[in-house]
Amino acid sequence: MAETAAGSKPSPTPAAPAAGALQALCTQLDDHVVQLFLELEQLEGKRAELNARVEEGWFSLSKTRYAMGAKAVSPLQYSSSMAPLFRVCANEPEPGRPEFEVVFTKVGSPKESSPKEDQGVIDGEPKSESPVLRRRQQSHASPPQPTPPTPATETSVEQDPLTWFGILVPQSLRQAQGSFRAALLIAGEIAGLQSRIEWERAQIQALLQEKRKLLEQMMVE
């Protein structure tokens, strides 16, 4: 009877590999869940910091408009030609997990001719000459060949946007610029965090499906 009873008991060896796989799967799932909560906490702090920086920037800008006048700090002072001072770099270290980084770029380099040279020459002749002297020179020499004018926007050097509002701007305007720059950098970090959170959620969903399938196989066995 004892031998019969002992022989009727199922062997625990077939379920051992499944139990080990289930334990490893649960460990991976726990790691992803903990990482997800940590990134959600970081995202909440970054959003609060972003809102604080934007509020500081608008408050400093309001102080500047109060000191200089609403018309002195408005879109009317914007330059006709603008160049971005920030660019966003994106890479994908893992499939489906893009990373973003906001990088500060330097101003553009000057062209071959300078604006001072363009201002001192009109149709290939100096500005300082009088019309009478110009007519005398043209009577003894051959007529000059017309040269295509160079646009000032192509030869001008990109400057700090603060110079659009004057040379000596208030300190509050510089503080507003610094606050908005910091907000841009934080926005890049928030975009990276949101991307990692979405990737963590996708990993958790995949692990849960795999765990469900493994449990169904163990129940069938």
Q: What is the spatial distance between Cα 62 and Cα 79, in angstroms, rounded to a whole number?
A: 21
On whether residue 182 sits in a domain, the answer given is: yes
Residue 183 predicted with pLDDT over 90: yes
pLDDT in tens, 49-68: 999 999 999 999 999 888 88
On whether residue 48 sits in a domain, the answer given is: yes
Contacts of 81 (CB under 8 A, 6+ apart): 153, 156, 158
pLDDT in tens, 160-180: 888 888 888 889 999 999 999
| pLDDT given at position 107 | 53
On whether residue 139 sits in a domain, the answer given is: no
Among the residue ranges 81-95, 117-131, 159-173, 178-192, the one predicted with the least confidence is 117-131
Mean of the per-residue pLDDT values of the chain: 74
- Can you name the residues that pair with 97 across neighbouring β-strands? 94
**Assigned token pair, 200:** 């963590």
In angstroms and rounded to an integer, the radius of gyration of the C-alpha atoms of the chain is: 35
Contacts of 110 (CB under 8 A, 6+ apart): 155, 157
Residue 101 predicted with pLDDT over 90: no
| pLDDT given at position 1 | 44
On whether residue 101 sits in a domain, the answer given is: yes
45-50-51 Cα angle (round to 5): 100
Provide, rounded to the nearest whole percent, the portion of the chain with pLDDT above 70: 68
Q: What is the spatial distance between Cα 191 and Cα 69, in angstroms, rounded to a whole number?
A: 36
- The total domain count for the chain is 1
On whether residue 2 sits in a domain, the answer given is: no
On whether residue 215 sits in a domain, the answer given is: yes
Task: Give the pLDDT mean for 131-155.
Answer: 46
Q: What is the spatial distance between Cα 54 and Cα 106, in angstroms, rounded to a whole number?
A: 23
Among the residue ranges 60-64, 85-89, 131-135, the one predicted with the least confidence is 131-135
On whether residue 4 sits in a domain, the answer given is: no
On whether residue 134 sits in a domain, the answer given is: no
Domain interval for residue 27: 22-108+158-220
CA nearest to 36, candidates 208, 209, 193: 193
